[in-house]
Structure 1
Amino acid sequence: MANTPYPESYYAASANPAPPRPVLQDDVETDVCVIGAGYTGLSSALFLLESGFRVTVLEAARVGFGASGRNGGQIVNSYSRDIDVIERSVGPRQAQMLGQMAFEGGRIIRERVSTYNIQCDLKDGGVFAALTAKQMGHLESQKRLWERFGHSQLELLDQHRIREVVACDQYVGGMLDMSGGHIHPLNLALGEAAAVESLGGTIYEQSPAVRIERGANPVVHTPQGKVRAKFIIVAGNAYLGNLVPELAAKSMPCGTQVIATQPLGDELANTLLPQDYCVEDCNYLLDYYRLTADKRLIFGGGVVYGARDPANIEAIIRPKMLKAFPQLKDVKIDYAWTGNFLLTLSRLPQVGRLGDNIYYSQGCSGHGVTYTHLAGKVLAEALRGQAERFDAFADLPHYPFPGGQLLRTPFAAMGAWYYGLRDKYGL
C-alpha cells in the first residue's frame, strides 16, 4: 500500500506532533462516512459527532494533506464572489440568507480553537490592500455591503493609515477586518482531527475512496476495506479526482504557489507588519502574505490552471514578494510549495445531494478557510433534517466549463490573462 507523505512545506516542517492513523483494512459500519480529512470533512465530522452521529472519516493521504494544510493561512470572510453578486444572480431572499452566513466561518474557527484548545497560532486582523483608487472605491462599497449584513468590525484605511500596518509603498489605502486573521493551517486541521477522535470519531489515513456503491445503504470502498453508512459526505474538493463524475464536470483544480522565508528576526518582521495582520491585495490575480509565529514571511500568489506543479515556484513568487518588499532582496527562501484549490465557473461553492443520502460541498474557488468550516455546519444541519441553509447553497446555479474538460483549462487561463492585464493597467 502506497504511503503518501505531506509535501515539503513550512507547515509540514513545523506541524504539531500527531499520531499516524490506521489504514482501513476491515469492513465497518457507521452513520456517516466522510470522504476527505480536510476542513470540510473535519468540520462536518465535528458537528455531526456533537449531534450524536457515529462518524468515520476516510483520508487518501494524511489529515490536512490537501488545501487545508497548504493554504496561505488567512481567515477571510464572505465568498469568492461577494453578496452583491449573489443578490444579482438569485435575488434578495436567497442572498439575504447567504449574506447572514458569510461571516460565520471565522466565528466557527475561533470557537473550535477555544473549545478544543487547538494550538494553531491564531492572530486577529486581516487587511485588504488597494493598489488603485478604483480598488479603494470597491472597498468602500464592500464595507457598506458587509455592514448591511451586520458585519461591523471594519475600518477603512487611508494612505497614511495603511502605512502604519504594512511597510509597502504600493498601496493607496485599504480595509481592516478585525474578524479576519490568520492561523497555521495544518495545525488547525490536526487539532480538529484530534477533536473528532476525542468525541469518538474514527479517522483512517492512507485509505482513499476508490468507489461509491450507491443505494439505500451506500458503501464506500477503499483498496483494503469498505465502509457501510446511512449517509456519505463527499469532501475531497480539488483532490477528489473522478470518484463522483457528476461533480468533476462543473469544477477545475487549480494550483497556487507559496513561499516561506528564513526567520526574519523580530526587528525586521515588526517593521514589515507592525500589528501582525495578514494582507491580501485587491487584484483579480491577488497576492497574499503574513508572518508566522517564528517571524518568517509567508507569501503566496499566482494560479496554475489545471493544477500542474511549476518547475520553479520560487522563481514565480519571489519577484512578487520583492515588488511588495524590496527590503527583503537578500533574504533566503527556506520553503516553496504548491497546493490545489477547486475553481467553479461562478466562483461560488457547489453544495448538493446525490440521491437521498450522498451530500457534498466543494469549489471554494480560493476562499475556503472560512467557508469550509461553515459548510461542515450546514451539511450537519441537513443530515439532521434542517435543510433551509443547505438549500440556500444548493439552489445556486452552476454550469459546466465551456468546451468540457478538454478546453476548460485554456479557457480559464485566457480569462486569467485578461484579468491580469486589467490588474496591471488598473482597469
Structure 2
Amino acid sequence: MAHTAYPQSYYAASANPVPARPELDGEVETDVCIVGAGYTGLSTAIALLENGFKVSIVEAAKVGFGASGRNGGQIVNSYSRDIDVIERSCAPKQAQLLGDMAFEGGRIIRERIAKYNIQCDLKDGGVFAANTPKHMKHLESQKKLWERYGHTQLELMDAKRIQEVVGTDIYAGGMLDMSGGHIHPLNLALGEAAAVELLGGVIYEQSPAIRIERGANPVVHTPNGRIKAKFVVVAGNAYLGNLIPELSAKSMPCGTQVITTEPLSAELAKSLLPQNYCVEDCNYLLDYYRLSADNRLIFGGGVVYGARDPANIEAIIRPNMLKAFPQLKDVKIDYAWTGNFLLTLSRLPQVGRLGDNIYYSQGCSGHGVTYTHLAGKVLAEALRGQAERFDAFADLPHYPFPGGRLFQVPFSALGAWYYTLRDKLGI
C-alpha cells in the first residue's frame, strides 16, 4: 500500500521526532477501536486508557495528518456557534450543560500538556479582533454571555488598547481572553499519541478503515487487517470519506489555507504581536494569525467549499496578511498549505451513536482544537455509562444540507457570500 506522508507544512517541517508505527496486519481484539488519530481520537483514547479500557486506533495516514496537524494552532473557547444560539434552540437544562462545557476543552489541553510533558510551545492569551463597531458590540455581548457561565478571564479593548497587543491600526477594538492561547498543533497531537502509547494503547498508521461490520461485536476492516471490538469510535471528521454514508450526508469538508513567513527578526516579530498572543478577527470568513516559536508569522483564512486545494494559496492569503501588516511586503513565504475542517449546516458539532456500540463525533465547523479535546472526554464518559453530557450533544438536531450532497457546495458558498458581503458593508 502507498505510504501517505505529512503535507509540506511548517508544522511537519518543525515537528518533534516521530517514532515508526506499524500498519495493521492480521486480526486484533480490543475493548475500543477508534477510527482516526487526530485530536478527537487521541483525546478519547487517553480518557479511556486512563480508566482501564484496552484501546486500538487505526489511522489512514499518520498521527495528526488531518486538521489536527494543519490548523492555526489557536486555543479558542466555546463552539462555532456560541452559547446564545444554543440557549435559543435548546431546553434550559441542555443549554446549561453545553454552556458549562464550552470552556473545558482548553483546560483539558493544558492538563494533558502538563501531565504528559508535551513539548508544543504553549503560549497563553488570545485576541478576538473587531473589524467594525458592530463587531465590537458583538464582543461586548459575548463577554457578558461568557461571564454568566463563570468565564471571567476577559478584557474588552478599545481601538487604542488593541494596538498595544496587535501592531496594526485596522481594528475598532477587541476582546482579550487569557484562557485562550496557542500551540504547535502537530506537536500537541504527537505528544498525545505518545501518551496513548505510554498508557498501553496501540496506534496503527497507514491503516485506513475501509469497512465497519456492525453487530454485537463490531469489526473495523483495513486493507490488511481487522479489529474486533466491543465499541467503535468514529473520529475521522473531514477525512472520514464515505465510510459511514449517513454521517457524510449531514456534513461537508471545507478547506482553509495557511501561510508561514520566513523567520522574522525579534524586533519585527515583537512589533507585530508584542505579548505573543494569537489573533482571530470577527468576520464570517475570518483571518487568524500568531507567531511561531522561531518568530515566523503563521497567517490563515479563506474557505474552499468541498475541500479542493487552491492552485495558489499564497495569492489568496498574502493580501489579507499585508492589509494587517503592510510592513511584511518584502517578507518571503516559506510554507503554504490547506487543511480541511468539517462543516455542519447548524455549525454545531454532531455527536451520536449508531446502534448500541458505534459512537461518533464530527463537524467542529472550524472550531475544533478545544472542542475535540472535550469531545474525547465526553465520548469516554458515555462508554463508561455516564451519558448525561454525551446526550446533551447528541440531542442537538442534525440537519442535512438542502438538496443533498449535490448542492452542499453551491448553497454553502452562496451563504458565505451573503455573510461576507454583510461584513464588508458593516451591516
What TM-score do you get using the length of structure 1 for normalisation?
A: 1.00
TM-superposed deviation, 1:426: 1.0
SS of corresponding position for 1:155: strand
Aligned twin of 1:242: 242
Distance 1:20 1:414 in 2: 44
Distance 2:334 2:388 in 1: 47
Distance 1:292 1:164 in 2: 19
Task: State the one-letter code of the partner of 2:376.
Answer: G
Aligned twin of 2:132: 132
**1:342-401 deviation per Cα after TM superposition (whole angstroms, max 9, x unaligned):** 000000000000000000000000000000000000000000000000000000011100
Aligned twin of 1:291: 291
Distance 1:318 1:154 in 2: 30
Aligned twin of 1:394: 394
Aligned twin of 1:334: 334
**1:168-202 deviation per Cα after TM superposition (whole angstroms, max 9, x unaligned):** 11101000000000000000000000000000000
Distance 2:165 2:132 in 1: 18
What is the correspondence of 1:169-184 to structure 2 with a 5 Å cutoff? 169-184=169-184
What is the correspondence of 1:274-313 to structure 2 with a 5 Å cutoff? 274-313=274-313
What is the correspondence of 1:49-68 to structure 2 with a 5 Å cutoff? 49-68=49-68
TM-superposed deviation, 1:2: 1.0
Distance 1:31 1:206 in 2: 21
Aligned twin of 1:378: 378
TM-superposed deviation, 1:145: 0.1
Task: State the one-letter code of the partner of 2:42.
Answer: L
**1:122-172 deviation per Cα after TM superposition (whole angstroms, max 9, x unaligned):** 000000000111100000000000000000100001111100000111101
SS of corresponding position for 1:171: coil
Aligned twin of 1:360: 360
Task: State the one-letter code of the partner of 1:126.
Answer: G
What is the correspondence of 1:8-407 to structure 2 with a 5 Å cutoff? 8-407=8-407
Distance 2:399 2:78 in 1: 21
Distance 2:421 2:19 in 1: 47
Task: State the one-letter code of the partner of 1:360.
Answer: Y
Distance 1:423 1:328 in 2: 25
SS of corresponding position for 2:16: coil
Task: State the one-letter code of the partner of 1:117.
Answer: N
Distance 2:9 2:345 in 1: 29
Task: State the one-letter code of the partner of 2:167.
Answer: A
SS of corresponding position for 1:22: coil
SS of corresponding position for 1:165: coil
TM-superposed deviation, 1:410: 0.5
Distance 2:29 2:242 in 1: 24
SS of corresponding position for 1:351: strand
**1:66-121 deviation per Cα after TM superposition (whole angstroms, max 9, x unaligned):** 00000000000000000000111113221110000000000000000000000000
SS of corresponding position for 1:270: helix
Distance 2:107 2:53 in 1: 23
1:409 matched to 2:417: no
TM-superposed deviation, 1:403: 0.7
TM-superposed deviation, 1:425: 1.2
Distance 2:268 2:418 in 1: 36
SS of corresponding position for 1:221: strand
SS of corresponding position for 2:299: strand
Distance 1:283 1:320 in 2: 12
Distance 2:339 2:152 in 1: 33
Task: State the one-letter code of the partner of 1:101.
Answer: M
Distance 1:320 1:13 in 2: 24
SS of corresponding position for 1:230: strand
Q: Percent same amino acid among aligned pairs?
A: 83
Distance 1:31 1:169 in 2: 55
Distance 2:132 2:417 in 1: 19
**CA root-mean-square deviation:** 0.4
Give the gaps of 5 or more residues in structure 2.
Answer: none
Distance 2:298 2:20 in 1: 27
Aligned twin of 1:7: 7
**1:269-293 deviation per Cα after TM superposition (whole angstroms, max 9, x unaligned):** 0000000000000001100000000
Distance 2:167 2:31 in 1: 52
TM-superposed deviation, 1:265: 1.5
Task: State the one-letter code of the partner of 1:127.
Answer: V
Distance 1:306 1:398 in 2: 19
Task: State the one-letter code of the partner of 1:265.
Answer: S
SS of corresponding position for 1:164: coil
Structure 1 segments (4+ residues) deviating >2 Å: none
Distance 1:38 1:240 in 2: 11
Distance 2:332 2:14 in 1: 18
| Aligned residues between the structures | 427
Distance 2:77 2:150 in 1: 13
SS of corresponding position for 2:164: helix
Distance 1:89 1:347 in 2: 13
Distance 1:131 1:59 in 2: 40
SS of corresponding position for 2:163: helix
Task: State the one-letter code of the partner of 2:6.
Answer: Y
Distance 2:91 2:279 in 1: 32
Distance 2:31 2:94 in 1: 31
SS of corresponding position for 2:56: strand
